[in-house]
Amino acid sequence: MPTERTNTSPAGDVKELLAELEVPFSPEQVQWRVTNTTNDKKRGQVVPYADPRAYTDRLNALLSPQGWTREYKVETVSNLTRMKRGESILSGKVLVTCTVTIFGLWSHSGTGEEWADDGNSVTSADAQAFKRACSCFGLGRYFYDVPAIWVDLDQNRQPAKTPVLSAWALPENWRKGMRPRARNSDGDPRAEVQGKGPKEGNDGGQKKAISRRDNGNNGESGHGPAEKSGSSATNSDDELDQRILGMEKAVGTAFYHNILRDYGRVNQPKLIRDVAVKQKVLMMLESVARGIDRLEAVLKRIDPNTVQALLTKLQVSSLGQIADIKTLQNVVLGLEELTGSNPLHAA
């Protein structure tokens, strides 16, 4: 949609305002929507989002209720055919355009749509249009950088455990320069085992490749410019230490200590004095967790004999012995190539 700039000059520092609009929401405001499930409904693909009220609260806090406004335009389209529960029905669509204006700055518009026969169709389309308009200002834009991840579902087909957000998606880390990889790196995607991973199929017998806890953390991670810590530990140091310590269960003890040794040159995160190095260690541990998730996903759709043949070719004794990123990368990419599910070759 075209950008409309007002005649008056914006009050305050525009760059500072836009930077604050971009800051991620607090984890308490983030919710997870199931967008896809396995055939047995025990696993689901989820994406993060925030309620429209979180967007409104951020705008009110930065601008005051008098500093911005929104306007809706609602249209309907009739006589559309859709499939619902296996049947073809005659329906229509609700189309909503929302224009958000920051006084003294400019306006942006976003659109939303929903099938008219769905419950709360107008409310859903309104929320979609409002959030899309806000994303043009940077508010909530970071959600587009978080890939969908697979998690266990409960009896209500909701995440059994709240997925863990990547370090860069936390407000305090974002303000310190951490960003998703897509925003600060143009390196070879094969450099790390990362990404959305293959689409899951029927959830058959779970094959545990590496002893670890499934923490559902597949979000992309990044790191900001080098930041030196002082002589005493800061709150940021403590938070990073705790997140790094929590990754031991996610990746397994062997992988955990190898990453600490290779990237931090220590055996305990608290011994790392450089904040940038801690961020790098955390990023690599999250990358390993994503790789293990992808490995477990592809193992569900491949014959064990094929797996063993690849391991023999790569000179890997067993899946349980994998404890370095390069080997994990080669195994995951090799198996995904064999199943045709490598995201690097997806359309």
Q: Are 148 and 198 members of one domain?
A: no
Q: Are 298 and 345 members of one domain?
A: yes
pLDDT band at 208 (very low <50, low <70, confident <90, very high): very low
Report which DSSP code applies to 30: E
Report the domain count for the chain.
Answer: 2
Q: Are 105 and 253 members of one domain?
A: no
> Residue 26's pLDDT is what?
94
Q: What's the mean pLDDT in 122-150?
A: 91
SS3 36: strand
Residue showing tokens 């009896």: 155
Q: Are 180 and 42 members of one domain?
A: no
Residues 48/32, Cβ–Cβ less than 8 Å: yes
Of 107, 132, 161, which marks where a domain is finished?
161
Rg (alpha carbons) of the chain, rounded to whole number: 23
Q: Is the pLDDT at 188 greater than 60, yes or no?
A: no
Task: Give the model confidence (pLDDT) of 101-112 as tens digits.
Answer: 998 778 999 999
Q: Are 215 and 197 members of one domain?
A: yes
Of 139, 161, 183, which marks where a domain is finished?
161
As given in the structure block, the two tokens for residue 154 are 């409960």
E strand or H helix at 235: helix 235-251
Q: Are 180 and 285 members of one domain?
A: yes
> Residue 228's pLDDT is what?
34
Residues 168/286, Cβ–Cβ less than 8 Å: no
Residues 140/131, Cβ–Cβ less than 8 Å: yes
Residues 7/116, Cβ–Cβ less than 8 Å: no
As given in the structure block, the two tokens for residue 92 are 């229509």
Q: Are 111 and 78 members of one domain?
A: yes
Q: Are 149 and 199 members of one domain?
A: no
Q: What's the mean pLDDT in 7-26?
A: 75
What integer best gives the mean pLDDT of the chain?
78
Q: Are 172 and 228 members of one domain?
A: yes
Q: Are 319 and 192 members of one domain?
A: yes
For residue 193, how far is the Cα from the chain centroid? 15
Of 140, 161, 182, which marks where a domain is finished?
161
Q: Are 29 and 66 members of one domain?
A: yes
Q: What's the mean pLDDT in 194-204?
A: 38
For residue 256, give Cα distances in angstroms to 103, 262, 267, 286, 296: 50, 10, 9, 10, 18
pLDDT band at 209 (very low <50, low <70, confident <90, very high): low
67 φ, ψ to 5°?
A: -90, -5
Q: Which amino acid is residue 232, in one-letter code?
A: S
Q: Are 131 and 33 members of one domain?
A: yes
Residue 66: CATH number of its domain? 3.30.390.80
Domain assignment of residue 62, given as a range: 1-161
